[in-house]
Structure 1
């Protein structure tokens, strides 16, 4: 039954969404031609364009159903290799990350770092965790210079399992049924990538301090992403990105040598930017685009078992991350939009995810809506309760910015007191996006310190060392 509902939505919702948007424009034109309130026509146009996406995503989120774990699955935890690229093996989160992966009993963990010194630190950290390894093989290797993309490519040549998971060092897996849940979508032979659900650790719920507020905003940032992924994936199978914090791939897709070479030498804006060694960040966006381009289906697995916990919201690192993510939008989304096959297969996602990601400046849209409504009310004096509609519309704006983060507020009720900061952030983020737009060429990995890492390129660090 759930499958039928999803199929019907995929068939008509992208078209009905466009019809609603065009309908609002036609209705506004009729009001204008019939000499009605011009400002009301403007408001209706803006309202239709602004909230068609929201209403469509509400329907998509309601219709979403995760893939069910089968009693006799095609893949098990013994078919999984996990690649962990790291530049901070001595940091506090690395052991916790590896320990959480070990608890899931995968076949192999390959840790790839940069330089001989970091390789030694990785080996020491893994040796300390060896008693917890069980049947999992722990392997460490390194390349000469830090590059997440090249670290992944180096590790892929040593993967022999049919499933490969890429995991960041700051991602912590649940220890109960994570692997079965994220492998469930692969029962469909056309699925090549599975996106896990992300949740930021909430450190100080309800506390009125700068660090607590930033952490609150960060947790909501991921909660909104989960909501968007769930909605678009239910409607037409599209996603804006499969986050590299923990992403699950068929090795058949990821081990393609031509793909990996392009992955490590990507440039953008007609090949003008990206540096001598290729683009550093945006690695997960590249792989998402490549999967879609090569005809693989992508599934978002929204279950508690598939929920990965991450650390997020540390200031000023979060400030740098916001800029990097916003720049990624302006670098990556146009590449997807110029793919004609993507328009045919993912109509809703093309307009309501990728195009909306470029044009969605909340401060400009909401200002235009409020201004046009105020002018429309001024043009209709004497109408009983006219100004009540303005108050109701402001409540509508608040509601639309709250519905996506309800799960987080449910887990941490004390955070309701901080809701105003979340609404304010929605408008502050417009300035981040504007600055990212005019500095999109900046492809530094902001939020991560890479200077001085690595070693002499002549050093032999690429050989794999089996710790356990």
Structure 2
């Protein structure tokens, strides 16, 4: 060991390696020790205390119809379906009548919001909510049948203001080649997100973003007028009001105002969705739509993560691990920079005879390092490859995509003041007019 540490290049390699992978080591341990809040024997809150808000763009799609059926099967007190235009309102009503989604347990109301902004639609429905809790759901999300009791469980703690869930992208085995690869990229994107959220929450209770695909809030918090004003008037460098990043805004607003965040990672609270396929976005290919989504998410992180660190000491004080390992780390986490730096410093260190002798040569240690780097990119998505071993054939391309994503992230950082939604037509019309 003394011979190794005597080399300045090996010390540099060791420092970069630790900076790069210490967070992963901690996350692996934390992820496997994370636990969801269980349902109490006598819950204070039930489905009768829940209103679901469902913003809809494509009321004739199979995804919306399955999504609505799954929500209805969970028996919330009320469902607000929010869309824009008389034609879409009538399509939703016709669907509900044709499928007999009308009973005395769950009341269904279709709202015609004049604006297509997701934030405006959410607020439009929020003002009409009368239950203690509200759950927002995207139209391409599919709940399990005992979903709501497990989402409500953390609210037994009166300090909890928002609850997030774990997510899984549906795999379409019939999709092979490039289409199958895009579907896999979407799957691994959310698998990594699940892993990171569960791990950071297990360490210090923090959460970087409660996904807006499905999340639950205390209604009173979101019906607060100061929140509604801030939510609908968020600006970026004079541009806005902002439409994208609604879930990130709500998460950070909750943290800044002292509310606790909870992440439920149990199978009963796991929603399904679709990502990386060509459904939706009529004038976009699957690749264009998916990349547009990645850019939008990366822009939101580039805008909000640094701002969250400097704007709120509450985040750093209450959630130090989340603040440093997630928010701060996201600013510098570029695989296309870190991995070459690790390999270069290690290769130069191996040119020292003492180092190469101690490690058994040059080629073998380099091959092992390359294997380590590649395999480390599969850790968070290992569960998927266990369920679908046929996807192992895509592993080399998954590794390459990690470096491609560094380019996406850099571009998103440079263009972070671009506030367009990107992957859905018409959503930004109100912003463009203003």
Fold conserved between structures, TM > 0.5: yes
Matched-pair contact (CA < 8 Å) for 2:53–2:80: yes
Take 1:37 and 1:152, find their aligned partners in 2: how far apart are those partners?
Answer: 59
Name which of 322, 327, 331 aligns with 1:358: 331
Question: CA contact under 8 A between 2:163 and 2:217: conserved in structure 1?
Answer: yes
Following superposition, the deviation at residue 451 of structure 1 comes to 6.5
- Mapped to 1, the partners of 2:48 and 2:242 lie a distance apart of 33
2:384 is aligned with 1:413: no
Q: Which residue of 1 aligns with 2:290?
A: 318
> Please, which runs of 5 or more residues in structure 2 have no aligned partner?
278-285
Alignment match, 2:313: 340
Of 415, 419, 422, the residue aligned with 1:439 is 415
Matched, 1:273 2:238: yes
Aligned partner (choices 209, 218, 226) of residue 258 of structure 1: 226
From 78, 87, 93, give the equivalent of 2:63.
93
Using the TM superposition, give the Cα deviation of residue 217 of structure 1 relative to its aligned residue in structure 2, in angstroms.
Answer: 1.0
Q: How many residues align?
A: 418
CA distance in 1 between counterparts of 2:289 and 2:222 reads 30
CA distance in 2, matches of 1:120, 1:302: 37
* Contact 2:255/2:314, CA 8 A, preserved across alignment: no
| 1:134 Cα deviation from its structure 2 partner | 5.6
Residue 165 of structure 2 is matched in structure 1 by 196
Looking at structure 2, the residues matched to 325 and 401 of structure 1 have their Cα atoms a distance apart, in angstroms, of 20
Which residue of structure 2 lines up, in the alignment, with residue 462 of structure 1? Answer: none
Cα distance in 1, alignment partners of residues 258 and 72 from structure 2:
32
2:283 aligns with none
Cα distance, 1:48 vs. partner? 1.6
Q: Which has the higher contact order (CA 8 A, sep 6+)?
A: 1
What is the aligned-residue RMSD (CA, Å)?
2.1
Distance in 2, matches of 1:193 and 1:264, equals 19
Partners of 2:33 and 2:45 in 1: CA distance: 27
| Length-normalised TM-score, structure 2 | 0.92
TM-score by structure 1 length? Answer: 0.85
- Going from structure 1 to structure 2, the CA distance change for 1:261 and 1:31 (only over 3 Å counts) comes to farther
Residues 127-171 of structure 1 show CA distances to partners (whole Å, capped at 9, x for unaligned) of 333346561100011221211111111111111111100001111
Q: Structure 1, unaligned stretches of length 5 or more?
A: 1-26, 458-468
Shift of 1:31: 9.7
Distance in 2 (alpha carbons) for counterparts of 1:124 and 1:343: 50
1:444-455 map, 5 Å: 444-450=420-426
1:236 aligns with 2:204: yes
Residue of structure 2 equivalent to 1:329: 301
